[in-house]
Structure 1
């Protein structure tokens, strides 16, 4: 049975319909389930698939989202995503640039607040229209699980471009930023944008899925680096076909057609081995892909735009570095 998008936003994200309708800007606090700091999902959003998503199981995942972290620094994680959506955050004074944010979560959940909603809070004031992707999780029963996140990411890019006039953006200035597993998905989109991972469903699928540029923040890249193994297990399953695993080892997929890339990682990251970034950087250099990299001595993992209070001073500036780099890409 088709899922009504208002029901999805209300039930799927654990928010009341009244709170969604009343949320006029990102970050509006919405008390729900005893969590006074739970953020509201924005009233403007769109679903990716007009009917069933590719590989839809007989029983859809059941939403069971959580708030996580210490008191005063809680954040929303999405689990059980029955229908992927894209949230739209429009600036009051838009320029023609746009950014699709892809949160992480090891392909086991979507860290939508730290690495999505707060990305919009950071860049919307600069005139950038920000889109946040709540993609399907591969281990929640979908067919061809390994292709599920890329299906959603490609489709999101194509729909945004097909509706560029509606959003007041230049489709040639649509970039992406991804974090951790979302960095793997952003890297997959940057290198595998032309892979045929689903059958076209409408005219929007004639659009290119290639981003104009891509920011990869503490990204998972290559299963050879063991600290990111859980992410690949969640994506590929317990006994992956080596050929499929090779398709998503993205430092091996870099070509001259890969767009300009921006890297951010702390060298003391205990969750994603910094060799992921270094390997991808080397592949880009070999293919003569324009790159910029910011490697910090300290910072750990998970320093989204507004989660940096306890991080090293230098890591706090990465959002400004990325802003400057995005401006350069638009010139």
Structure 2
């Protein structure tokens, strides 16, 4: 059997975790599934002692948190935080992102998705199942939430970047039986912003902890291929904006490069920004560093697409 890399990799512990932000607690909670997640087998895990409250785990019921813009422009974003598929980092890759994009008029929906290592029967499918449902749920609520623009982009970070890339290339995958009319809506994003994404599922460039947690300890070649987004880029894949730091010692920048190459071969080259410094998990980035400019660049890119 083909296996992901087994070597130890740096632990993804972004700075500034702390308690749950007030903005998170105030955001509207939108459960993804009306009668709970259809897939069975959830098993709570013991949390690591060094994980802050902002690293969400033991997710039995996935959800969206809606952060509303004070002066909405009619547009919406789906944001998918990372966490090596072991937790969902909702502060630096959720609340902070919502604050920045709320300020320019976007309603932001932050996804809390099921984690594959928490007992689910279809471990490699449940995160994508939730991402598909999230996009459909946003579209179903568009008029209610004041979202007039049907073009909804997704932003994904780290393992959440892998999930966003999987949504880009697997929005039509049939992963579960429909539960209501919402499941008949389109799950295809209009565009994607992938920030230090995990793309590779095998050595030498994968993030082993993410890959092993998603695929299990001994995945076969077919499963690895199915969850390798670069193998499924096509003419239908939406436009992509890539962000990575060259000094990322957790998820090598080559992950973004291989995604860029696959998109270019498919006939629609992405916009890509590689920053000399930033390491991993920088979220919106430092205001006084070059990596902290990606949100402005991304806003301009989205405007050009529009």
2:211 to 232, 246, 252: 232
Asked if 1:319 is matched to 2:295, the reply is yes
Separation in structure 2 between the aligned mates of residue 107 and residue 50 of structure 1, nearest angstrom:
24
Figure out how many residues of one structure are paired with residues of the other and give that number: 287
For the structure 1 residues 65 and 94, does the alpha-carbon distance in structure 2 shift closer, same or farther, using more than 3 Å as the test? Answer: farther
Tell me by how many angstroms 1:60 deviates: 4.7
Tell me by how many angstroms 1:54 deviates: 2.7
Where does the alignment leave 5 or more consecutive residues of structure 2 unmatched? Answer: 1-17
Q: Contact (CA 8 Å) 1:66, 1:76: kept in 2 or not?
A: no
TM-score by length of 2: 0.88
1:246 corresponding residue in structure 2: 225
Where does the alignment leave 5 or more consecutive residues of structure 1 unmatched? Answer: 1-34, 69-73
1:167 corresponding residue in structure 2: 145
For the structure 1 residues 119 and 36, does the alpha-carbon distance in structure 2 shift closer, same or farther, using more than 3 Å as the test? Answer: closer
TM-score by length of 1: 0.82
Asked if 1:113 is matched to 2:91, the reply is yes
Tell me by how many angstroms 1:171 deviates: 5.2
Separation in structure 1 between the aligned mates of residue 258 and residue 221 of structure 2, nearest angstrom:
20
Separation in structure 2 between the aligned mates of residue 49 and residue 60 of structure 1, nearest angstrom:
18
For the structure 1 residues 290 and 212, does the alpha-carbon distance in structure 2 shift closer, same or farther, using more than 3 Å as the test? Answer: farther
Separation in structure 2 between the aligned mates of residue 193 and residue 270 of structure 1, nearest angstrom:
30
Q: Which has the higher contact order (CA 8 A, sep 6+)?
A: 2
2:44 to 61, 75, 78: 61
Separation in structure 1 between the aligned mates of residue 182 and residue 261 of structure 2, nearest angstrom:
34
2:132 to 154, 158, 162: 154
1:141 to 113, 116, 119: 119
SS for the counterpart of 1:172 is coil
